[in-house]
Amino acid sequence: MPDIVTIDRLGHQGDGTASLGEKQIFVPFTLEGEKVLLSGLPGRGNHREVAEIVEPSPDRISPICPHFGDCGGCQLQHFSHEPYLAWKRALLVSELEREGMDVDVAGPVSFPAASRRRAVLTAIHTSGGTQLGFQERGSHEVIDIETCPVMTGELQAALPAVRSLAGAFVPPTAKGKPGSVRVTMLSCDNGIDIAFAHGGKVTARDLKTAARHPASKHFLRISLNGEVLHARQRPILTAGIARVSPPPEAFAQAVAGAEQAMADLVCEHLSPCKRTADLFAGFGTFALRLAQNSMVDAYEFDAPALAALDRAWRETGGALKTITHERRDLFRRPVMASELKKIDGAVFDPPRAGAEAQARELAMSKVRKVAAVSCNPQTLARDLRILIEGGYKLVSVTTIDQFAFTPHLETVALLER
């Protein structure tokens, strides 16, 4: 007899949870309160697939993408906007409560669907030609895409050219395993930067391909494995009054509006400070804006990112206050409290692992104002607890829905002593 279950809630990854006998199962593409008929096919671990939505939720809507359900990129296009935002906000609230914090959480601030200016795809060769797309849900197969409604219009329009050029860089099959190339697209102020990466070496043939391929004219710069093969112009992103040229494959905020919203919160909070520290600075998303009002000490492990930051600062011709920079692994060697004696404001924006070691040093410092930026509610809650125990109080917490239709959430938390 087919199994019919009622979805209890949505889990942290966006799958519905339900009880099947004494077992908890996860059912993708379902919503709280729905009755669903489960497929008889075996799932992965405790995951099951849906055969039919027997009683749909009033919050269910039609997905906007023809690849929804197959592509592993968007999990929640079936969820209407306001309830989706409320669920996403609750992800952070639950983590803060777990750490003993009962605070008001604003947002999420959201943006139009077609706002993603940065996308990472995969290209492979098949008997039918070059496939370009995202990984299939639950597998390593590539879903070939013709459109992606979360990308900016500029990136979507470039997909045919990307597919054509990517095909020239896919390595041959080796030991029975098809070759593939990772493709990073970044829509900049003046056009599209494209970076390819695979496990092989850069050859003279690659240089010729980048220079002569008909599709190359569509891109500002073409790189392979971090090496620039061909460039018509430097790609440019604006950060306040500065113009920064990011290194190939550099981390950049995926939505320009989200970056500006985060920067506005950080800069306003730290505006009274005379000297600030930008921890995990990247290529200067915050540092270049903060330097309009204060001296900045920037710390970052990625050397090309720091070089881009320094160049952007110098090219402002003295319009910004001094930015010093240091290459430093803040996970292994955080900036110590004793080194922060002259700092009265700080911002940190770490990877998903958070900034535990750095938060402990800040907690022992006399830095007056701190802005904590995070893409992971769990590690943010932990880091905030460390700061609060060190004598800080939370001023505000704002969530930002940079990655629409996914469980990923950006947060800016502002603290002061």
| Catalytic residue set | 375
Q: To 5 degrees, how large is the angle CA 371–CA 377–CA 378?
A: 115
> What is the rounded CA–CA span in Å between residue 111 and residue 130?
32
Compute φ and ψ for 171, nearest 5 degrees: -70, 160
CA distances (Å), 374 to each of 39, 115, 119, 371, in order?
37, 20, 20, 10
The CA angle 243-248-252, to the nearest 5 degrees, is 60
Token pair, residue 416, equals 């002061």
58 to 85, 206, 253: CA distances (angstroms): 15, 53, 33
Please say whether the beta carbons of 19 and 5 come within 8 A. yes
Contact 62, 83 (CB under 8 A): no
Q: Where are the beta strands (DSSP E) in 142-201?
A: 142-144, 180-188, 191-197
From the number of C-beta atoms within 10 Å of its C-beta (0-12, 13-18, 19+), residue 95 rates as buried
| Residues 61, 80: Cα–Cα separation, whole Å | 6
Please tell me the number of Cα atoms within 13 Å of 352 on its side-chain side. Answer: 3
3-state secondary structure of 38: strand
